[in-house]
Structure 1
């Protein structure tokens, strides 16, 4: 067994705050580190520090927070605390504004038996026996005390009696020296010359003395010593008791009335307390209520009630709600309903609702997202800046077939002809609803008939011209002569060429419903471009657009692959309350409960709208936290209770509100009568104790998922299991590493669940990498050989067709009009010209096309040759870069033909 040297001693394992080295020694961890595996790899820090990148960092808590020694995190102080004491968040050192300081606590209102001092926001205690007071006098005394001239006395002086109803000292009847009430028969003693008889002071006459009774033998016999007057000599034959004693129903005199009754100063009798009252001062003032499993009674204003009125229960008493609050829970300021005319907003009673809220059932309800104003039914009537009202909702951009009216802040419907628009008129269209319609100056018109185009100035349909020109050109947008300078520079497409040695030129003009792309006339722009009507050209879209209707970033139709489409704009990140759909690549709205989200489901929230709390473990926003969680008011999240609690008010083990079966709540902790390492099990009417699982030090039930305290080096995860830290490498101390483990590199005392995967050594990884490279190279080599084989086979099949005429270029026709063609030297001449991958059809429209093999496949007749000889022409074609090249006639020269003059001319389009 390995042993390690530690301070000149050999030990089996290094102690806490030390780690073992390869030299078999124990070395100290870094400063403030409690558990580590190396000098720069701390796993657990001392109190007030947390682990960050393997080192311990000082915990800095904000206002209203204090260090949590159990979790190396910050926890909230008691409500109202600005700063509190470590280990005791209820011990306040200072209070936030609006709270009073009293005995290490902060209060919204000063507690009973104190009065407030506004100058320094403190609560000052009243005199010991006073319940309610100010700095000058007492107004209400404790039980068994009476108010006399602003002070509390335990007994009223002679001539006064204690009024139990008002707890005041009041004057006796003038015949009485002392009394129990204000009537003349309430005397307890008489002035000189008077004698007491049945409570009245009468003139002295011959009677039996006090504490005697007249027997049947007309003798005065002594009463029992406890009786002042009696009907017999037994203890239970008293008829009246002396001072300080009270007559019970059993006719005995006692100094303290039994439970369920009170000593009536007026009658001197023990009278029954009201129903449900265990102890009382009088018939109207209960001091303690009965409690049982079936019935829970609470003390409120001297009465025992089942439900607190205008208050909330705490312990066995009802505490009053704050001013304006008609019902509350948890504390005085957590209102449920409000007095009129107040309105309920976030559990506070306010004079009026804040902006973006509406009143419904005397409650402030938040308007939908981006609403500035809304109706009680939750329909928007006004929107925030940069939002528009559409169908009772506020949207950042209007839907299709609507446009944004910035002045009214509304989305108004486009004209029926428009798919996209910027105004209500039929001439405000940006795109047409009819895909065949033509957009001209914002108006959508039916398409022109075949062989016609729409004039960009007048909007009228005119005959489309595409022909060879000679002589006058007035009707073809050209000047009267046919020289180079005669060409209209604004014509959509033009190019010229010469015929052999002749000096005159012939020009081709494209006049159609078209635009110019790389020198070609097309009737639709390719992806990434839009038709700029004023220039009759295809202009590039904004860099963010994949397709568009204009150059602006707000005119996209589709987006680049890495962007999301939001209305007509392409963005990297969707706006608030929206998320990017990775499939449709659009920004879609989150669930109504989410302020931010990762998808559109109700369990995809990242944060919540006001009024809801975030349950991070499920990604949901809820009205309140479920069982086993508590509401963190600072973060508006549901955090897990300590595993020993069923419900709680905080994360600590002493913050429990209720417990699991077999446990009892004691000062905020859930405790059982079992020994450490055992848990209670209910059997019949009794409770037995069983051993915890071997992975737990303490637990709340059977199995490894009910741990509450873990052994050293193990961390308690939220599911109740004790797990070790994940090990990136195989550790000799762990022969079989467990699958589930805690990621201790990022934790602050909480278990971040991970999976411990086996890692291979570097030599194994290198060998596997070399094998992978070899396999990939072999597959690529085989595929390459297959491709070469098919290419050779294909070329041989081409060679078998050597008797066919050579391939050529498409040749421009000589005759005006559409559809005419001629054959020459095995090459086709046609009015369907191919340019830059676009082919013109008889209808004047251009579609994207591949290069077509136009080799002739029939013999050329003599008649054909004669026809072509009359009007021999050059061949014009266009390169992909937009340059127009002139080629010469094809085939062999005839005997009577002169040798051609070859000038290598080219023309580039603007």
Structure 2
């Protein structure tokens, strides 16, 4: 009698198209193996195991040579034989079946490993995943392909979702100069992000007041303002789309020079010429309506002020206006910088506590925004909420520091490690719940090291310790989140580690055992 042979598993990702259907014959179950590779009767009846077939000339079992690559029998002279499977097979219901790992499943004929429909294999086809991992995309045939450079993530070979170098714009990675109008090169998000001002043609970052040029409106102090919204003393220049100052003493105008004044500051507008005659207050004075005289401002550097009180300056000559006072550049408070164009102290960008100007490359120190989000100083003098790859934010210094690569930390943040890899000794480390990178031998109750993600993943609810999420991978049991107590049952599979088992509710403890609440074990 001949039977089809099982193909040898050469790779757990290989689909094996073979099956074996062994009949059984009634034979002695208490038997020993002899040099001739056959079983002899001992007075009891039983069936031949899958590794053996019935001898048609007698009621003996003889070895099925086609199964020899799967089975190994260990026997004693007077003991019952114990069946163990050769790698890469495992024992299941007295049969050796493929030991599928890394997400692969046993095929329907239980002869090989396949990646089921709805899942995909990774780039090197060693893992079966729900979705393609970072840096790869689904090809459409159940496999993943590596994203082309400079894409770090993508949805196809031509559409990027994140960039390794450059900035993401409409599915492509571009240089800062190639970011479209109305956007800016966001180093934190590695993308061309929209300016805060809807009319801005360009801006230094996404904060309000950082516009650098405008499309239809007029640039004034970092914002794009309509002509009617410009402050007194300014007009909109259509050639540059910027707000420019009217001539001295002119309150409103359409331009500079004669014929463009519309109203004057404390002066009169003669008919026809539309030119303000100089009768305005001298620099450093204000019009005191009570005294009917030009009195000096309280601040000696003020070029104009509202009255003679301290803190009433409107503009400064050589210093910088800060909260109604003219101060030297060195005395400007933290969070502001001196603007030589307007002679005012302007606020630094969001998250920047000290700076020499707006935009990237001018930050001196970082802090937190109004919502409490921390920013961190990068080596190129920018404040970001997330440091570049390989560095992490450090508190309370609010600086980006190098991750501890010797400990296996690939990426980190203010809390600690974010991604782990190989340490300086070449050992794979795993991300722990405490944001550290540790070897798989380190014990974290309720977690197990997952080789696929290089992370300590949580055990199932109610399982206190485990080596994985498969059946028979629990080490000890506890209490579920809903308060249900679970109890440990050792694996009945002789090929499994004796310390492994599974967790059940008290009612499911095997016959002959009871649920011991002190140890959470089904005790015999």
TM-score, structure 2 normalization? 0.38
TM-score, structure 1 normalization? 0.24
